[in-house]
Amino acid sequence: MTYRVTILPRNITLTVEAHETILEAAHRQGFNFPYGCDAGSCYVCAGSLESGTLKIKTNNEQVHAGDGDDSNTDDVLFCLAQPLTDCSIFIEGVLAPGEHPMINASCQVTNITPMGNDTIEVELRLPAGKKIDFHPGQYLQVILDEETECAFSIGSIPNKERTLQLYVGFSDKDERSRRLRAAFTTGNVVTISLPHGNCYLKNLESTAPLFLVAGSTGISQIKSIAEQCIREQNDTTAAQRQIFIYWGTRTTSELFLNDFFLNMTKSNNNIHYTPVVAEPDATWKGRTGFVHKAMLDDHDISDDAEIVLCGSPGMAYAVLDDFLATGIKEQQVQSDVFDYAPRNN
């Protein structure tokens, strides 16, 4: 018998066998889970039970969430707790296997490059001497003040120069945008937190087809993931996988990384790039319409294909619905949107 334990606030899922404590299951599966004594003395592993029922193995006491006795559920020691049902628990500091710890860092703005259409490329340099890592596809938050944070996909991969690239679109009608434009000035220092997000490639050895679909500045996340795939296949014996990049924008002038991706396809014959413009000007000779429809027109999507979707919540859910209608399975599609803007909210 196994139980599913959801660990909040990160919303990480752990599978626990009936005879195991939550801490034992976490360690068996490679999670980083806070603990000290593993014997009920130090309280390092303490957290709360939010739903479900647990048993405390030393005295067989049952702890039920929602039975009105908060003292019982607020201070559960997970080194002693065995689930009796599926549960959700709350404990800070848990990392799933392969996850990097989240940190705050002060970074220098080392370069700003205008990309046209009120979009800039921002280069930030991370501080030396601090271990900071992320998975390509993850995002960071720029902290403007205690109440204002702005999320940006990281458009680069980890590198020894400790630099990060962001692609930032501005609207001067928006106060937050004006503040960001002022913060992103060469030489300034900005505070960021990273890494965030769970939308990255979990199996870098997969040879299944990979579809990277972006709307507008969502291309930043796609750039990072595609660069990671190229680095893997160049630096290791990782097999090449076929990678199909589809980028949809409203106008032709918004394709600010068009040349970058065209060059990427020239030097990597497993990378295929298709820009799709919704409202093209008379000079555009490429694809038009909806980006995901172009992808569906071009390919029969196999059951093992992996799809990463980057864009606004409206775009991501509309595309997901169209994908599901063609027989693509939900678990083939990942997007940050599914975590930060769940559809039932």
Closest residue to ligand FES in the complex (CB): 79
Residues in the chain, overall count: 345
| Least distance between ligand FES and beta carbon 1 (Å) | 23
Nearer to ligand FES by Cβ, of 81 and 168: the residue is 81
CB closer to ligand FES, 82 vs 119: 82
Q: Which is nearer to ligand FES, 40 or 313 (CB)?
A: 40
Are 90 and 8 within 8 A, CB to CB?
Answer: yes
Closest CB 119 distance from ligand FES, rounded Å: 49
* Cβ-contact 225, 154 below 8 angstroms: no
The binding site for ligand FES (CB under 6 A) comprises 35-38, 40-45, 77, 79
CB 80 → ligand FES: shortest distance, Å? 7
Q: List strand residue ranges (DSSP E) for the chain, in order.
A: 2-8, 12-17, 46-51, 53-56, 61-64, 76-77, 81-83, 87-90, 103-116, 119-125, 139-145, 148-153, 163-169, 189-196, 210-215, 243-249, 271-277, 287-288, 306-310, 333-334
CB atoms within 10 A of CB 61: 12
What's the min distance (Å) between Cβ of 81 and ligand FES?
9
Count CB-CB contacts under 10 A for residue 278. Answer: 14
As measured in angstroms, the least distance from the Cβ of 131 to ligand FES is 25
Torsion of CA 85, 90, 96, 101, to 10 degrees: 180
CA distance linking residue 121 with residue 89, whole number of Å: 40
Least Å distance, CB 41 to ligand FES, is: 5
